[in-house]
Amino acid sequence: MPQPTPADRTHRLVPSPAGRTHLVEQGDGPLVLLVHGFPESWYSWRHQLPALAAAGYRAAALDVRGYGRSSKPAAESAYRMLDLVEDNVAVVEALGERSAVIVGHDWGATIAATSALVRPDVFRAVGLLSVPYTPPGGPKPSEVFAGMGGEQEFYVSYFQEPGRAEAEIEPDVRGWLAGFYAALSADTMPEPGAPDPHFVTRGGTLRDRFPRGRLPAWLSEDELDVYAGEFERSGLTGALNRYRNMDRDWADLAGHQGAPIRQPSLFLGGSLDASTTWLADAIEAYPTTLPGLTASHLLEGSGHFIQQERPEETNRILTEWLGGLDA
């Protein structure tokens, strides 16, 4: 049987509460919805689309609202988590399905987890890449982030101030993206003891700490051009507005404080990824917070962009997990 290729992908625009959601789908079978993180697009799943199609699934990778060809509402508050959940529900319905498995990476993992939490009637299983599940609740996020770093400023607080990160990024979107991807990838991230790119020197920029002059092995110049082209057209404000709604999410989800996700779940992280190491306690809590966890993997030597850094292993783990859901 011929293996799926990029030529087999179908681009679609479907109606959603955002206005429209752009997605790329490939394959036939049970629906698997793929949700990207920051600062990426549907393209971050380019290695998974053909693999899932070959395994007998209908894979659909979307552009989250504010990204790529999806709608970009003007109001900052239009990017709260519950709005993104409803976009996902609308995509499932627009594709003629009643339910789906949802898989997310980075912010997409949190979007996927929240989708599974609040709409278990639609999302029958959830896969989380790089960012562990932490139930809603706890202290107000902006206060937590403001207290991190001491004399330095945590990147989330930096991103939360409207216009500030945009002023850093806009003059050279391609160069900024190259540095950001390099900073969090295993083969190009700063050596231990070097200034941490998750923090900003007071009065400085995040870019000051990015590696320069070398792309990570998973990213070619042509692939970087794809990402840069998307953000040069769309700008970064829609993407950054996700960070600017964390306090609103905290209030919106107060009724789910401490709630576990009970559907079958998967976690896949990288051993060199700060998202995994900083949230090690969240992973240890999975017996309570993810009682339906059926597979958990930590890839040694992988950084943050796990499905692009280690596509073959990611594809194997995903397809084995998906195959076990209906076994």
State how beta strands 19-26 and 31-35 pair.
Answer: unpaired
Question: Residue 319: CA atoms inside 13 Å, Cβ hemisphere, count?
Answer: 19
Can you say whether the dihedral through the CA atoms of 202, 175, 243, 77 is positive or negative?
positive
Can you say whether the dihedral through the CA atoms of 310, 124, 95, 57 is positive or negative?
positive
d(CA 117, CA 242): 18
Is residue 304 among the annotated active site residues?
Answer: yes
Both tokens of 116, joined, read 């599974």
Q: Among 260, 35, 37, 293, which Cα is nearest to 136's?
A: 260
Is residue 106 among the annotated active site residues?
Answer: yes
DSSP string, 197-255: TTEEETT--GGGGS--S---TT--HHHHHHHHHHHHHH-SHHHHTTGGGHHHHHHHTGG
Helix (H, G, I), strand (E, B) or coil at 145: helix
Burial call 213-237: b when 16+ CB within 10 Å, e when fewer: eebbebbeeebbeebbebbeebebb
d(CA 321, CA 323): 5
Which residue out of 106, 198, 249, 273 is catalytically annotated? 106
**3-state helix, strand and coil shares in percent for the chain, rounded to the nearest 5:** 45, 15, 40
d(CA 95, CA 29): 12
d(CA 60, CA 87): 13
Bridge partners (DSSP) of residue 80 are: none
Which DSSP category does 279 fall into? Answer: T
Residues with catalytic function:
106, 304
